[in-house]
Structure 1
Amino acid sequence: MSKNKLLRMDNVGIVVESLDDAIAFFSVIGLKLEGRGKVEGEWACRVTGLNSQNVEIAMMITPDGHSRIELSKFITPPTVSDHRNAPVNALGYLRAMFTVEDIDEMVSRLIEQGSQLVGEIVQYQNSYRLCYIRGTEGLLVGLAEEIGGK
């Protein structure tokens, strides 16, 4: 009997109110818009378990081409809960972490766009400088700059 082997992680899904604002936010971080379109129909409802859905999506990809974020704006059915501004110890999926070249420069650019630094930029041993940023619609992302072994 062969074992099931994980091949890769394709993407993380994030539901948003404004695709344009979310695309702009993740573009500042460095992701590129890979595509945009609609997801609807019987097949989609069977996958998600929703009786009827009409969703506009945008796929954002990292510069290395290995990671994606799928941004979804539900037209129907309406969203049922909102935990975008939940603190970091809330249950459920919370944030995506990105490695950046210059954390100070990235934080400055994100703050100029209206994001807020959560806590402060801290150094973890001689490995990383890290922080959390709350961006458009309260979305939480982590930023990490590798400092050891450069």
Structure 2
Amino acid sequence: MSTRLENVGIAVRDLEEAIAFFTDLGLTVLGRDEVSGPWAETAVGLDGNHARIALLQTADGHGRIELFEYLHPTALETAPTQPHEIGMHRIALSVDDLDAALEIAARHGCHPLRGVADYQGVYRLTYLRGPSGILVMLAQATQAGGGAG
């Protein structure tokens, strides 16, 4: 059996805000839709499921994020995930210029949780809170062959 990662789905408070953040960081919107009805209820396992969605892709064509904003039922606010909590943790993006990516994030009101770290001279990286409290890791390889991990 062959398996590949299709995308990572993230529920957001404001779809347009999240799209703006990720497209400013270099992702491209592949498509948008509004989903509801019996097929969506069955697929998601949620009665009355009605959401606006957008599929975004990284510049290399390998990474995809599906953002969704619930119209019904009303989305439930939760406390932002902490780095040490079990469960869905973060999204990691490799960037070729961490300083430029941080300037873009700052324009969206998103700043590093604690600054930029150096991992053994291989990566410069940081965690920040993106739109809707999404934990985002930005990493820049500082040696040949590096990528976010």
Q: Same fold (TM over 0.5)?
A: yes
* CA shift for structure 1 position 81: 4.5
* CA shift for structure 1 position 23: 0.3
**Structure 2: runs of 5+ lacking an equivalent:** none
- Structure 1 residue aligned with 2:16, among 16, 20, 24? 20
- Structure 2 residue aligned with 1:119, among 114, 118, 141? 114
**Structure 1: runs of 5+ lacking an equivalent:** none
1:51-73 residue CA offsets vs partner (Å, 9 max, x unmatched): 22111101111111111110001
2:127 match? 132
1:51 match? 47
- Structure 2 residue aligned with 1:40, among 16, 36, 39? 36
CA distance in 1, matches of 2:50, 2:132: 21
* CA shift for structure 1 position 137: 2.1
1:72-105 residue CA offsets vs partner (Å, 9 max, x unmatched): 011111223423x232112221210010001112
Structural mapping, 1:71-82, within 5 Å: 71-82=67-78
CA distance in 1, matches of 2:46, 2:108: 35
CA distance in 2, matches of 1:34, 1:94: 24
1:5 match? 2
- 1:118 is paired with a residue of what secondary structure? coil
Note if 1:102 corresponds to 2:97. Answer: yes
When normalised by structure 2's length, the TM-score is: 0.90
Q: CA RMSD in A?
A: 1.4
1:149 corresponds to which letter in structure 2? A
When normalised by structure 1's length, the TM-score is: 0.90
- 2:114 is paired with a residue of what secondary structure? strand
Note if 1:67 corresponds to 2:63. Answer: yes
Structure 1 runs of 4+ off > 2 angstroms? none
